[in-house]
Homo-oligomer: A and B are copies of this chain.
């Protein structure tokens, strides 16, 4: 459960109360569930019944738990309504996947965001320098009017130009600017899926994590195993033949979390399956800009018969700006804009102006080149060290932000992650990204955050103590 420190100057009552709050915030104790009885907890901790029941009453007064006469104490479903300073901080959602993403977004919660999906702010500072942005805003009149529903013409044109450099040929009229890549996917989903439809997604996959955030009543999710070079095509053909999904979601390059690329040959076969079984493809290319080797996307092969391409700028430009986009087959563009207007009306013309300006500037390409090198450098360092301490890594994956790390079987990963949380280290269990139990021994590591000496020390200590106790 949790331990108390009798030598601490903090009162036992306060220690117990704080430990409970921290467990709730760390999604270890789920809202709505019952707390241990006063008697059981006092026995377990070796403290008086009075101490535990005082701690519980304090939590009741703070509207964090409630007493149900005859049934015990329950964690309240929602956070406290108190307006005191401490209570002002919002408690993360209690559901596992939402709680994870909530924490991942709030950098103040951890000192070491080792499983974060973002690069460190300092790595991005040269891309959108505050001085340049400041000057831009002072000189730009277009910031005082709303953004067009499809996004500004300037931004859509420069995106089309940048895509041509990746051998993706699209007219700017096919591009719909979105709040981010998540939003892009959400709009496509709303447009394409009717109640009862099937949606095929890779397992493991960040997109699967995203889909598990809430129970969407409108469609069914089915999965295909992701191997090192793309989806398992045998299983995929079985699944599409049986369920006839409307959409297949995939990350061709630098798949999140496994890091692999879909081979061109598999890409071709995926498109053939799409033709044969009449489904559309959503190609999420959010990390593609970090690719140093392969560059072939499904969208280049398909050229807008069956493929939606989506990407964004939070990873390689700035997580502070929320900007993504969809390139849609022409026949879907108008309905996609309608979906966007129904959902958010339009985007931020301030953000659109800044990104359009940055992409146009020579700075962007220079920034990307340096970023790729830096990520690669840290990746090699992280891989070498992890391998040395006994963490398994797929040797076929050689680039990108993530290492999909398999920890030795003797390590209690649940405990490792809990202790990391207490040490203000953010770790994402592999199980979050999967519908199976096959990734329970994995953690997604971000190479830009995992070479810190304190994280290494934490892992080393843990692996050694586990080995010793095994």
Q: Are B107 and A171 in contact (CB under 8 A)?
A: no
Is the pair B195, A79 in contact by a Cβ cutoff of 8 Å?
no
Report if A135 contacts B (CB, 8 A): yes
Mark contacts of A330-344 with chain B using CB atoms, 8 A cut-off: 1 yes-contact digit, 0 otherwise.
111111011101111
| Residues of chain B with a CB closer than 8 A to A148's CB | 90, 102, 105-106
Query: Taking A90-B150, A180-B345, A347-B322 as contacts, is the C-beta distance between A195 and B217 under 8 angstroms?
Result: yes
- Judge whether A311 is part of the interface by a CB distance below 8 angstroms: no
> Would A79 and B334 be within 8 Å (CB), given that A98-B341, A320-B350, A350-B351 are in contact?
yes
- Convert A319-363 into 0s and 1s, putting 1 for each residue whose CB lies closer than 8 angstroms to a CB of B: 111100000001111110111011111111111001000000000
Partner of A322, one of B137, B216, B344: B344
Task: Write out the residue numbers on chain B whose beta carbons fall within 8 Å of the beta carbon of A195.
Answer: 195, 217
Proximity string of chain A (67-90) to chain B, C-beta cutoff 8 Å, 1 when within and 0 when not: 000000000011111110001111
Tell me if A149 and B105 are in contact (CB < 8 A). yes
The answer to whether B345 and A146 touch across the interface, beta carbons within 8 angstroms, is no
B171, A330: Cβ atoms under 8 Å?
A: no
- The CA of A105 and the CA of B347, in the complex, are separated in Å by 11
Determine which of B89, B137, B183 lies in contact with A343 in the assembled complex, contact meaning CB atoms within 8 Å. B183
Task: Answer whether residue A179 sits at the interface, using C-beta atoms and an 8 A cutoff.
Answer: yes
Chain B residues with CB under 8 A of A78: 330-334
- A344: chain B residues at CB < 8 Å are 179-180, 182-183, 186, 322, 344
A102 touches B319 (CB 8 A): no
Give Cα distance in the complex from A91 to B122, angstroms: 41
State whether B138 touches A171 (Cβ < 8 A). Answer: no
Q: Which one of B102, B134, B330 lies within 8 Å of A149 (CB-CB)?
A: B102
Closest to A195 in B: B217
A320 touches B186 (CB 8 A): no
- Least Cβ distance of A353 to chain B in Å? 8
A334 to B102 alpha-carbon distance, docked (Å)? 11
A338 to B160, CA, bound (A): 33
- Chain B residues contacting A95 (CB-CB under 8 Å) are 338
Segment from A123-131, A289-297, A404-412 that makes contact with B: A123-131
Closest residue of chain B to A31 (Cβ to Cβ) is: B334
Give the shortest distance, in Å, between A331 (CB) and chain B (any CB): 5
A37: Cβ under 8 A from any B Cβ: no
Q: Could you mark each residue 226-244 of chain A with 1 if its beta carbon is under 8 Å from any beta carbon of chain B, else 0?
A: 0000000000000000000
Taking the closest CB of chain B, its distance from the CB of A312, in whole angstroms, is: 10
Closest CB in chain B relative to A136 CB, distance in Å: 8
A-B contact pairs, 11 of them (CB 8 A): A78-B333, A78-B334, A89-B173, A90-B153, A105-B147, A134-B137, A179-B344, A183-B344, A186-B342, A194-B217, A318-B350
Chain B residues with CB under 8 A of A262: none
Question: A300 at the A/B interface (Cβ < 8 Å)?
Answer: no
Tell me which residues across on chain B come within 8 A of A87, comparing CB atoms: 171, 173
**A221 within 8 A of partner (CB):** no
Judge whether B331 and A149 touch: CB under 8 Å: no
Find chain B residues with CB under 8 A from A141 CB.
121
- CB contacts (< 8 Å) of A131 on chain B: these are 138
Q: Which residue of B lies closest to A148 (CB)?
A: B106
CB-based contact A321/B350 at 8 Å: yes
Q: Does A54 contact B (CB under 8 A)?
A: no
A171 to chain B, nearest CB (A): 5
Check A213 for interface membership: any CB of B closer than 8 A: yes
A13 CB within 8 Å of chain B: no
The answer to whether B77 and A331 have CB atoms under 8 Å apart is yes
Contact flag A339-B81 (CB < 8 Å), given A105-B346, A146-B314: no
A429 contacts chain B at the CB level, 8 A cutoff: no
Which B residues lie within 8 Å of A77 (CB)?
Answer: 331, 334
User: Which one of B121, B133, B146 lies within 8 Å of A137 (CB-CB)?
Assistant: B133
Contacts of A330 in B (CB 8 A): 78-79, 81
Task: Tell me, yes or no, whether A441 is within 8 Å of chain B by CB.
Answer: no
Q: Does A214 contact B (CB under 8 A)?
A: yes
